Amino acid sequence: MLPVSQAEATILDLVKPLDKQRDAEFVSLLIAIERILAAPAIGHLDFPHWDNSAMDGYAVRYEDVQYASSQQPVVLEIVDEIPAGRSPQQLIKAGQAARIFTGAVMPEGADTVVMQEQTQREGDRVTILTAPQPQAFVRHQASYYQAGKTLLAPGTMLRAAQIAVLAAAQCNQLKVYRRPRVAIISTGDELVHPETPLEIGQLVDSNQYALTALVTQTGAEPIPMGIVPDRPLVLQKAFSKAIATADVVLSSGGVSVGDYDYVEEILTALGAEMHVRSVAMKPGKPLTVAKFSPAHATERKLVLYFGLPGNPVSALVCFWRFVQPALRKLSGLADNWGPAYVKARSRQDLSSDGKRETYIWGQLHLIDGYFEFQPASGSLNSGNLINFAQANGLAMIPMGQTAVASGDEVRVLQFGFPIMS
């Protein structure tokens, strides 16, 4: 059994990110949400685009008003009015000012803005009552960003803030990585579709749905390939098809030591390089990871194969712990592959046999900015999906440790929104 950290390092090492050229496509800004840039976004506009005013007031020449005070007010002639969006019409000469509004372009000759609260106006004259700082309230062209520089680097995920910046910069078409394709196979003679009435011993293939949801949430393209019975030839055919179709294959079931657990044998027969056979974690021990090199896969691509354990909770835990970070790296994301752990105070005693890194599912509560962890009530076994549905986190007890006392701190892998109470 590989320690979890070693399995994680092995898996991330196997992942080669998608190719910046071959695996890129252009998308328009409105549908670019959560896509990942495959090329730097470069703007052709300075930010601010022009010297402009940060206040409603008067654009003046600093040298005219530098000694102004209520005892020695300075009177200036107003020669122009410049609302936002209008081009200044006049050069400001000595003794002159322009009425100006927030966001409006500074007129030539003026270098400073006096906010209107520090002035008095009568007709086309304005009295300046206080000396401003030189260049006060002027937002200078290119002081935030210079045209031609990298605005956003490749590997950046586009969320609302990035999309706002790109819109402002008129970057309407973005070169992004295509979504990784992920084939999903459920193995097991006992499995049926949700609409099929159960005969004795049968079980709904919930893993197909859970994994499809998780792959989608991770920004990849799920390819659900259905249920495959525990028959080697049928499995082999299904695996070959999945390998030819996808960048990553996720199967669930058939990775333990039972007589009907064929996954490893078939992967070997198909020429896979085996990298992980079991991991010292609970749940998730029989996780199997293999690589198909380009020679074995169609096209030029490398295919990563995850044989997830069949137990529903084990499959999900393995996804969050290993598959999701691998998909994030593959998709071109520069960093933050995860998983995300937070520190929480446990509300109850937690225990483990100490032999494997143990993940206990339950609820993360956020109370006055601090996390608390409440383990799920009822049976914590990896076949019980019912109490898992209320969970949003996995408290982790490291290998070698057997307990976390109530009130002590524990690291929790967060996979859902915290409960605020």
Ligand X SMILES: Nc1nc2c(c(=O)[nH]1)N[C@H]1C(S)=C(S)[C@@H](COP(=O)(O)OP(=O)(O)OC[C@H]3O[C@@H](n4cnc5c(N)ncnc54)[C@H](O)[C@@H]3O)O[C@H]1N2
Does residue 261 interact with ligand X by CB under 6 A?
Answer: yes
- How far is Cα 235 from Cα 248, in angstroms, rounded to an integer? 17
Cβ–Cβ under 8 Å, residues 261 and 231: no
Closer residue to ligand X in complex, CB, 171/211? 211
Which parts of 103-162 interact with ligand X (CB under 6 A)? none
Closer residue to ligand X in complex, CB, 252/363? 252
For residue 286, the minimal CB distance to Mg ion (Å) is 8
Q: Where are the alpha helices (DSSP H) in 246-337?
A: 263-269, 312-318, 324-330
Residues near ligand MOO (CB under 6 A): 282-285, 309, 311, 314, 382
Closer residue to ligand MOO in complex, CB, 141/382? 382
Cβ–Cβ under 8 Å, residues 360 and 412: no
Cβ–Cβ under 8 Å, residues 38 and 173: no
- How far is Cα 176 from Cα 227, in angstroms, rounded to an integer? 33
Which parts of 238-257 interact with Mg ion (CB under 5 A)? 256
For residue 260, the minimal CB distance to ligand X (Å) is 7
Considering only 93-101, 126-134, 201-209, 357-365, which stretch makes contact with ligand X by CB under 6 A? Answer: 201-209
- How far is Cα 290 from Cα 313, in angstroms, rounded to an integer? 21
| Other beta carbons within 10 Å of 377 | 11
**Binding marks (x or -) toward ligand X, 354..393, rule CB under 6 A?**
----------------------------xx----------
Candidates 102, 127, 245, 256; binder of ligand X (CB under 6 A) is 256
Q: Where are the alpha helices (DSSP H) in 246-295?
A: 263-269
Cβ–Cβ under 8 Å, residues 281 and 359: yes
Candidates 118, 141, 186, 363; binder of ligand X (CB under 6 A) is 186
What is the DSSP secondary structure assignment for residue 29, as one 8-state letter?
G
Size of the site for ligand X (CB under 6 A): 27
Q: Where are the beta strands (DSSP E) in 96-137?
A: 96-100, 112-115, 119-122, 125-128
For residue 250, the minimal CB distance to ligand X (Å) is 11
Output the six-digit token pair for 140: 């200078």
- Please report, as ranges, the residues that interact with ligand X according to CB under 6 A: 186, 188, 190-191, 203, 205-208, 252-258, 261, 283, 285-286, 309-312, 314, 382-383
- Please report, as ranges, the residues that interact with Mg ion according to CB under 5 A: 256, 258, 261
